[in-house]
Amino acid sequence: MFDYKTLAFNIKKFRKMRGMTQEQLAKKLYMTAQNVSKWELGLSVPDIDKLCQIAQIFELSIDRLLGLHEEEKQSVMLAIDGGGTKTEFVLFTEKAEILSRLVLEGSNPNAYGMEKSCFLLAKGIDSMLEQNINICAIYAGVAGAASGDNRKKMLTFLKNRYRTMKIEVQTDILNVIYSMGKHENCIAAICGTGSIVYAKCGNQLHRLGGWGYLLDQAGSGFDIGRDVIRTALEQKDGIKEKSVLLDLVEQKLGGNVWNKIDVIYSSGTDFIASFAKVAFEAYQQKDKNAKEIIEHNAESLAFLINRAAEQYPCGKQVVLSGGIVCGNPEFQMALLEKIEKEFEVLFANEPQICGAALGCYRMLKKTDSSFLNRFKKHYKKFLEETNAENRDEK
């Protein structure tokens, strides 16, 4: 007995392996691309004649196309990278083949609340379960999971809902560390919309910062954006001398900064964090205030990194991740000037979902050291193919 969802996945998988578009396969079958799309989505099933033709085109046995061949019976896992602005779900096999990908909104419980975050994770998992395959393990690295008993609550929710699967919930900092192939001692910092620093000593994680936007002052996008807006208001009030920074803020707001305070307060943390870009734009125009904002926030993050090394035996490797620190050379330079000189600094430019996938793989006691590199390769190829298909559809 075959599973039609497995067939749907295999048609798509082997089509892509042979470098064919839906249109090209449809032409060979004297069908439409819409027919192929429906097969791959599991909305319909090709008749026996078409199955035989598809198997012949792919140079496969019918059993293998239907997923009845022993080689096709692989463990299927789900990796989740939950951040402050988006949550990514990737379904993959033990051979690191990417089966499906989904991106939803953020899932940090400190920002969205525990109930909303848990149900968002469930929404993504349910969507993946609809597509196929008996998922045997789920690994979720989620921002905010390390705060209080958030991890315990999220893990309990998921285990009660998905009782037959192995499930782990961890902080998203491990996604960063694992994405770089690091497993033992290091210091890791995420600096995006929010910021947090961890000292990893073996299996122990020690947190510094990461208390949320109301209490943190550690160089996050929110901190920089708030400082930009506050400086613009100070310039408008005459507390500070006017500069290009004020012009850029009002240009972004679409009007007088005084008259937009209600918009600022009602638009949320992501909106305020978006003003971090103004700091870097003004810095490039030699704005003194922007330079002070960037240096102050870099110093705040550097303090936590240096303190982590002083407090814990975590070695001298520092892994830095997040859009603020990895996407802005000005911030990088300011940060490197402030942290201890003996540190070996690595910028984690790899997608964090790669680290979540490795965490999931290790849950099953798998030890293939080439898995991470294979996953990165397949993930990159999957994104390229998906983008190409989206362009073709347009």
Domain check: are 205 and 277 in the same one?
yes
Q: Which of 72, 94, 120 is where one domain is finished?
A: 72
**247 lies in a domain?**
no
pLDDT, average across residues 343-371 = 91
Domain check: are 133 and 104 in the same one?
yes
Domain check: are 384 and 279 in the same one?
no
Domain check: are 64 and 101 in the same one?
no
- For residues 39 and 32, give the distance between their C-alpha atoms in angstroms, rounded to a whole number: 11
User: Which pLDDT score is estimated for 40?
Assistant: 86
Q: Per-residue pLDDT for 147 more than 90?
A: no
Cβ distance 60 to 14 under 8 Å?
yes
Q: Per-residue pLDDT for 25 more than 70?
A: yes
Q: Per-residue pLDDT for 183 more than 90?
A: no
Instruction: State the pLDDT confidence band at 84, using cuts at 50, 70 and 90.
Output: confident
Query: How confident is the model over 216-268, as pLDDT tens digits?
Result: 887 899 999 999 999 999 999 999 999 999 999 999 999 999 999 999 999 98
Domain check: are 191 and 319 in the same one?
yes
**309 lies in a domain?**
yes
Instruction: State the pLDDT confidence band at 362, using cuts at 50, 70 and 90.
Output: very high
User: Which pLDDT score is estimated for 392?
Assistant: 60
Domain check: are 297 and 167 in the same one?
no
User: Which pLDDT score is estimated for 219?
Assistant: 86
Q: Which of 2-6, 181-185, 282-286 has the lowest mean pLDDT?
A: 2-6
**259 lies in a domain?**
no
Closest CA to 275 of 301, 255, 248, 254: 248
Domain check: are 17 and 166 in the same one?
no
Instruction: State the pLDDT confidence band at 71, using cuts at 50, 70 and 90.
Output: very low
User: Which pLDDT score is estimated for 393?
Assistant: 57
Q: Which domain holds residue 207?
A: 181-228+271-349
Domain check: are 80 and 157 in the same one?
yes
Q: Per-residue pLDDT for 199 more than 70?
A: yes
Q: Per-residue pLDDT for 73 more than 70?
A: no
**263 lies in a domain?**
no
Domain check: are 151 and 60 in the same one?
no
**CATH number, position 357:** 3.30.420.40
Domain check: are 43 and 154 in the same one?
no
Q: Which residues of 150-172 are buried (b: 16+ CB within 10 A; e: fewer)?
A: bbebbbebbeeebeebebbbbbb
With H, G, I as helix, E, B as strand and everything else as coil, classify residue 116: helix
Cβ distance 204 to 183 under 8 Å?
no
Q: Per-residue pLDDT for 182 more than 90?
A: no
Domain check: are 276 and 309 in the same one?
yes
Q: Per-residue pLDDT for 274 more than 70?
A: yes
pLDDT, average across residues 185-211 = 89
**280 lies in a domain?**
yes
Domain check: are 132 and 37 in the same one?
no
User: Which pLDDT score is estimated for 132?
Assistant: 62
**342 lies in a domain?**
yes
Query: How many domains does the chain contain in total?
Result: 3
Q: Which of 72, 90, 112 is where one domain is finished?
A: 72
Cβ distance 316 to 343 under 8 Å?
yes
pLDDT, average across residues 127-142 = 86
The pair of three-digit structure tokens given for residue 60, joined into one six-digit string: 């496969």
Please provide the average confidence, as pLDDT, over all residues in the chain: 90
The pair of three-digit structure tokens given for residue 113, joined into one six-digit string: 């609340």
